[in-house]
């Protein structure tokens, strides 16, 4: 059975870029007769705040999404990530690194040859020499990445597990069959496929969506203060905008709830209609009108 997921980082309220990823993953799953899971990627603790977990869940609920099963919150249990790191160390492809961030910027890490023991303050990296550079995207076709890093961080020197490691571990344990996400993560995909192979798992399919970029070409993201989508639009307006940006029909949506709009859109979901290029949007910021909601249980979202 098809199983997709939406996996936001709770470092702010839901913005339009995240909504587009959620919409793409959700519509694709529903259109395949499958399910879509929600995962909160909150391992990078300094960037994440508990109140944003609640506000993202509340915003998604207001926007009519219903995710299947329990919400997976990464910080709830770190053991699966540690087990994967140990499995990767046992393959000989992962190694302990004592380089500082500055040293890594200045020259390639050569710690693999030193065979260092792990201790607090040291990172764990993966040698990327054998990473395959070609992969297939379900929307964009065959892709080739010429530039890949020499090595990939798996566990940072401050003990935080990396995005790429955690993403693969979670997609495996959530039995994800297809990953639908923004094309800013295309460069991570070969690295993640390599991790699947080293962990003895079959990679899922991958489908990357266009990004929304600001008129100056910059990425619209939480980092550059993209506005929370529900501060700017009503839920119905936000759903219509997401569908429009994904090239989907807006016919016969009048009078429907956001949830019904997704169902209607999924019944005629057209993958080929999604723009191939990134989407330029010129939204001027408007003053904040409503306070961020809080105190909502993420599990209210699930069936
Ligand atoms: Zn090193």
Ligand 1 centre distance from Cα of residue 49 (Å): 30
pLDDT value of position 220: 64
Ligand 1 centre distance from Cα of residue 294 (Å): 42
pLDDT value of position 101: 83
> Which among 69, 40, 37, 71 has a CA at the least distance from the CA of 53?
40
Surrounding ion ligand 1 within 5 Å at CB are 97, 99, 109, 111
288 has a pLDDT exceeding 90: no
> Which among 148, 250, 129, 241 has a CA at the least distance from the CA of 190?
148
- The domain segmentation of the chain, as residue ranges, is 3-301
Ligand 1 centre distance from Cα of residue 203 (Å): 28
Ligand 1 centre distance from Cα of residue 8 (Å): 30
Chain-centre distance for alpha carbon 204: 14
Average confidence score pLDDT of the chain: 90
Q: What is the pLDDT of residues 89-127, one digit of tens each?
A: 999 999 999 998 888 888 888 999 999 999 999 999 999
Pick the CATH number of 3-301 from 3.40.50.2000, 3.40.50.620, 2.40.50.140, 3.90.550.10: 3.40.50.620
List of residues 6+ apart from 241 with CB closer than 8 A: 16, 233
Where do runs of H (alpha helix) occur along 91-139? 101-106
Strands (E) across the chain are located at 3-6, 35-40, 72-73, 94-97, 123-127, 134-137, 141-144, 151-155, 178-182, 205-209, 212-214, 279-281
> What's the N-to-C CA distance of the chain in angstroms?
17
223 has a pLDDT exceeding 50: no
Q: Which residue has the higher pLDDT, 30 or 277?
A: 30
pLDDT value of position 287: 43
Ligand 1 centre distance from Cα of residue 196 (Å): 23
Kindly state the tokens that stand for 92: 């000989």
Question: Worst-scoring range by mean pLDDT, 33-37, 189-193, 228-232?
Answer: 228-232
Q: What is the mean pLDDT of residues 30-52?
A: 92
pLDDT value of position 297: 46
What are the angstrom distances between the C-alpha of 156 and each of 107, 118, 119, 264, 303? Answer: 18, 12, 12, 44, 36
Token pair 């915003």: residue: 59
Ligand 1 centre distance from Cα of residue 2 (Å): 40
Max CA pair span of the chain: 66
């Amino acid at each position: 059975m098809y199983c997709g997921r939406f996996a936001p980082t709770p470092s702010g309220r839901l913005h339009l870029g995240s909504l587009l990823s959620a919409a793409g993953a959700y519509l694709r799953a529903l259109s395949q007769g499958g399910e879509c899971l929600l995962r909160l990627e909150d391992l990078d603790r300094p960037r994440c705040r508990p109140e944003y977990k609640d506000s993202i869940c509340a915003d998604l609920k207001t926007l009519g999404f219903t995710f299947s099963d329990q919400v997976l919150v990464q910080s709830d249990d770190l053991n699966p990530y540690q087990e994967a790191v140990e499995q990767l160390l046992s393959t000989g492809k992962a190694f302990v690194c004592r380089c500082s961030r500055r040293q890594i910027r200045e020259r390639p890490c050569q710690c693999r040859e030193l065979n260092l023991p792990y201790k607090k303050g040291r990172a764990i990296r993966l040698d990327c020499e054998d990473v395959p550079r070609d992969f297939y995207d379900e929307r964009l076709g065959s892709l080739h990445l010429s530039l890949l890093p020499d090595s990939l961080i798996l566990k940072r020197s401050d003990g935080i597990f990396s995005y790429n490691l955690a993403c693969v571990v979670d997609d495996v344990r959530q039995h994800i069959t297809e990953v639908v996400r923004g094309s800013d993560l295309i460069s991570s995909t070969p690295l993640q496929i390599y991790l699947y192979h080293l962990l003895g798992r079959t990679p899922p399919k991958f489908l990357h969506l266009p990004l929304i970029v600001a008129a100056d070409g910059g990425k619209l993201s939480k980092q550059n203060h993209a506005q929370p989508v529900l501060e700017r639009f009503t839920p119905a307006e936000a759903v219509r905008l997401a569908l429009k940006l994904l090239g989907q029909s807006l016919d016969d949506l009048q009078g429907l709830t956001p949830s019904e709009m997704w169902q209607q859109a999924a019944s005629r979901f057209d993958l080929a209609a999604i723009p191939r290029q990134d989407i330029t949007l010129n939204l001027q910021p408007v003053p904040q009108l409503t306070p961020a909601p809080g105190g909502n249980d993420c599990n209210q979202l699930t069936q």
